[in-house]
Amino acid sequence: MNIKRHLVLISAILSAAGCVTSAPPATTAGIDEAELLSGAAIFGSPIDTSEIRDPGLFEIDDDMRAFIAEHVDDARASRERMRRLLRGMLQTGLMSLDYNDATTKTARQTFHDRVGNCISFTSLFVALAREADLDVAFQTVEVPPIWYSDSDLVILNNHVNALVKHNFGVRVIVDFNVADLKGDYETVEVSDEYALALYYNNVAMDALRAGDREKSFALLKKSIETYPDIAANWANLGVIYSRSGLDDHAIAAHLQALDLDKNHRPSLTNLASLYQGKGDPEAAETYRRQIRRYQDQNPYFHYSHALAAYRSGDLEGASERLDRAIDLKDSEHKFYQLQGLIAAQQGDADLALQSIEKAHSLAVYSDARRMYENKIQLLTNRK
C-alpha cells in the first residue's frame, strides 16, 4: 500500500516547553548518535566534515570598515553610534536589501551582494555593529507555524534578529524582516556558535533543495558539531534518512530531536508519518494525539483557522476561533486586528474601534503602530 507522507523540513528551530505523553517504543536498536552522524548507511562510508571551512559569519573587510568610519565616525554614546549606523545603512540601501528566504550568506557577502535572508541581514548588522563598538547579539524569535487545512503542520523558518544592549539596561531590537513576523513572540539571546550552527543548517537545506544530498548531510553534521543541541538539525537529518529509504535511521534522528525538545512539532509530524508507513498505526496515532494536543493549546493554530473563516465569509466561525486564540494569548496585537475586522464586517463600529485601539496598544514595532493609527483615524471619522 502506498502511504502518503508529509515530511517536514525546517531551516532553524525554537523550542516550546511542555509535557507530552510517553512516546511508543522505538524500533531503532543499535542506531545511536554516532551512527546517525556517520552517514555511512546512506553513502557507504562516513561523511568527513574536516574540509568544511568556517565561513567567517561575522568577518568584515576594508570596505565595511570604511563604511563604519564614514557613517559612525567618533560618536561616543552607544545610542548615538547605533543611530548613525542605522541612518548610514538606510542611506546606502543596506536596510532595503533583496530579501530571499532561501539565500543564506555571511555578513561580508550580504554587504556586497545586497541579497539574503534574515540570518544574512542580521549577521551583517551584528558585524557592522561590533565594528562600531556596540554590544550586540543574535536573538532567535519563536514565530508561529503555518497550518494547512489537512492538519499537517509546517514550521515556518526560524526568525532571527539582533539585540543591542546599551547602558542602564536599555535594550533595542533591530529586525530586518516583514511586519507579519513582528508579533508578541518569545525571543532568546543565543551565542555566536548557535548562530553559526543556524547558518550551516540553512545552507544544508539550500543544498538539499538543489538535490545535493551528500553536501546537505555534511553541512548538517557540521552544524551539529558546532552546536549539538538544536532539535531542527536532527529533524532535518531524519528527513534525509527518510528520503534515502532508511526509516529506522529517520525515526532515531527524530527521537534524538525529541530528546532535545519534547514538543518539536516537525519531528512529531514526521514520526507519525514514518510509523504509519511502517505499518504501526498505534504508534502513529500516539504522535498524532500529541500534535492535536499541541494544536488545541496553540493560539496561532486557532488564529489561522479564524483568519481562514473570515476570508471565506464565515464571520461567526471566525469569531469563535478567535475567542479561543485570545483566551490562550491576550497579548498578540494581530488577534485584535482580526477582531476589529470581523466587528467592522458585522456592523459593530464600537467594537471595531476598541479592538484596533487594543491592537495598537500591544504593537511593539513602529510600522505596525502606524498602520493601526491610520485605521483608528478612519474608524473615528466614520462614527
127 confidence band (pLDDT: 50, 70, 90): very high
| Of residues 213, 124, 138, the one with CA closest to residue 173 | 138
Q: Round the average pLDDT of the chain to a whole number and report it.
A: 85
Q: In the prediction, which pLDDT does 229 show?
A: 94
Q: What percent of the chain has pLDDT over 70?
A: 86
Confidence of residue 20 (pLDDT cuts 50, 70, 90): very low
pLDDT in tens, 26-36: 456 579 999 99
In CATH terms, are 62-197 and 299-382 the same topology? no
Place 177 in a pLDDT band, splitting at 50, 70 and 90. low
Q: Is the pLDDT of residue 328 over 90?
A: yes
| Cα 375 to Cα 182, 219, 345, distances in angstroms | 18, 47, 14
Q: Residue ranges of the domains in the chain?
A: 62-197, 299-382
Compute the distance between CA of residue 23 and CA of residue 268 in angstroms, rounded to an integer.
10
Question: What percentage of the chain carries pLDDT values higher than 90?
Answer: 64
pLDDT score recorded for residue 182: 55
CA pseudo-torsion sign 173, 168, 134, 192: negative
What is the structure's pLDDT at 4?
A: 41
State yes or no: pLDDT of 8 exceeds 70: no
Q: What is the model's pLDDT at position 233?
A: 92
| CATH number for the segment(s) 62-197 | 3.10.620.30
Architecture of domain 299-382: Alpha Horseshoe (1.25)
Q: What is the pLDDT of residue 266?
A: 86
Largest CA distance in the chain: 73
Compute the average pLDDT of residues 246-258. 95
Query: What's the whole-number mean pLDDT along residues 70-89?
Result: 91
pLDDT of residue 145: 60
Q: Is the pLDDT of residue 212 over 90?
A: yes
> Residue 61 is placed in which grid cell?
573587510
What are the E-state strand segments in the chain?
Answer: 98-99, 115-116, 135-141, 146-147, 153-154, 159-165, 171-174, 187-190
Residue 269 has pLDDT above 80, yes or no: yes
